[in-house]
Structure 1
């Protein structure tokens, strides 16, 4: 693979609605702005403008599809695709997603290939962390050499849940506040173990898993996410392409250089 011919690191972001996907992309690109959206031919189909402090969506073509490219002006080295989520039973949507993954994992044009897949599973819905949709994807969708990393999002909500539970059990507010983060971490680990146990048994399991915290905070640290993604890549050149998108993160660049 001629890495110098690939201008962007391309990521497919998957997961149900409200899994925190857009927030993650904003943190990776160090922005609070919304992305510009282009079709597969580079024609802008949607953009945003600010009005009284809010982002207003201006649409030139009404329906967002998986082939659309999401690009943030703050870091144009990334191109993202959003699967928009799919629920069990929606065969047509699943087939479109599967076709996109298959075609773009082996695209003849190098610049059109996807290089990684981030599959977001929110932990604020513990009663349905792994649904039939996730089971179907990891049982039927072969991404080939493209690594799939499961991101457990909205993990911070577990500390809040722990705080409320500790208060119910008689802890004072101060004690519950002190103990909640540690209890939350224990629950996070339990959730991670459960998800791994479910998905690792399937036909095409993820290459890696990562619990994401503090993504709602402006300037959240995405170093672990990028390191996790880089370590899952089989092409050293692709690792360099990913890390080069974070030139402002001197520590990450140095760590990668030492690894090589």
Structure 2
């Protein structure tokens, strides 16, 4: 979930180790014409019941809210009803198991908007953990350079720049926590993500954070085993269990 251009699709591609677009299926298993869906997205429309599957790793099934901040009250209610319904399903393959909610850090002037607060105030996800992903954290490098220049410091000082960038990141995460921590249904965890636009980006922190947030050990094992491309992560959790 999250606003448009928050990097949602890119994250899914990196988790599935692919650059291909997902295949899309409706709730009854029928394949959806991708060109029709693409046209709907450009108009701000979406069907959250649709399933997104990447052939590189079909063990994952995703649902995308497609930037519901631009939608109507009716669209928000459809999303909320979908989450409530799928969070309570008995069948494992019909249930949603985790929610990644993306907020981009490159929009510091509007990191948390009314749509985000509305979701965390009104949407009870039950036992399904919501993990707040602070995306595009690498864009803070430019902000760090600008602050160094304002302070008259050496912009070529990589150590100083990295230290300032980390400080800005920590401050931004704290701001998000302050804004969302007082909502009725706050995020389970907060995770900054950087470099997701690069092929082969490291998704271990994301998968590990998600696995730790899951309440059921069986689900943890399924998630780790489905992340086929990282044997080190599979071995780590196998040893832990």
TM-score range with shorter-chain normalisation? over 0.9
Out of 30, 33, 36, the position equivalent to 1:43 is 30
Select which of 4, 12, 17 maps to 1:30. Answer: 17
**Native 8 Å contact 1:160 1:180 kept in 2:** no
Looking at structure 1, the residues matched to 227 and 70 of structure 2 have their Cα atoms a distance apart, in angstroms, of 36
Residue 160 of structure 1: which of 138, 142, 152 is its match? 142
Give the structure with the higher percent helix: 2
Deviation at 1:60, TM superposition (A): 7.3
CA displacement, residues 42-99 of structure 1 (integer Å, 9 cap, x when unaligned): 111134xxxxxxxxxx337964410011111111110000011222783111101100
Stretch of structure 1 that moved more, 195-204 or 88-97 = 88-97
**Greater CA drift, 78-87 or 107-116:** 107-116
- Structure 1-normalised TM-score? 0.86
Residue in 1 that maps onto 2:43: none
Aligned equivalents of 2:70, 2:179: Cα separation in 1: 17
Check conservation: 2:100, 2:132, Cα contact below 8 A. yes
- The 1-side partners of 2:70 and 2:180 are apart by 16
Aligned structure 1 segments of 4 or more residues deviating by more than 6 angstroms: none
**What is the CA distance between 1:173 and its match in structure 2?**
4.3
What secondary structure, in the 3-state scheme, does the structure 2 residue paired with 1:44 have? coil
3-state SS of paired residue (2:175): helix
Question: Which residue in 1 is equivalent to 2:171?
Answer: 190
Contact 2:155 2:161 in 1 (8 A): no
Give the number of aligned pairs.
236
More strand per residue: 1
Counterpart of 1:171 in structure 2 is 153
Distance 1:210 1:173 in 2: 27
Q: Kindly provide the CA deviation profile for residues 78-122 of structure 1, in whole angstroms up to 9, marking residues without a partner as x.
A: 000001122278311110110000110012433110000000000
Unaligned runs of 5+ in 1: 1-13, 48-57
Give 2:129's match in structure 1, choosing from 116, 131, 147: 147
Matching of residue 129 in structure 1 with residue 129 in structure 2: no
Partners of 2:154 and 2:228 lie apart in 1 by 46
Q: Which residue, out of 239, 243, 259, partners 2:220?
A: 239
Alpha-carbon deviations, 1:20-63, whole Å to 9, x = none? 0011001100111111111111111134xxxxxxxxxx337964
1:76 counterpart residue number: 58
2:102 to 100, 120, 132: 120
1:180 equivalent to 2:177? Answer no
The farther-off stretch of 109-118 and 164-173 is 164-173
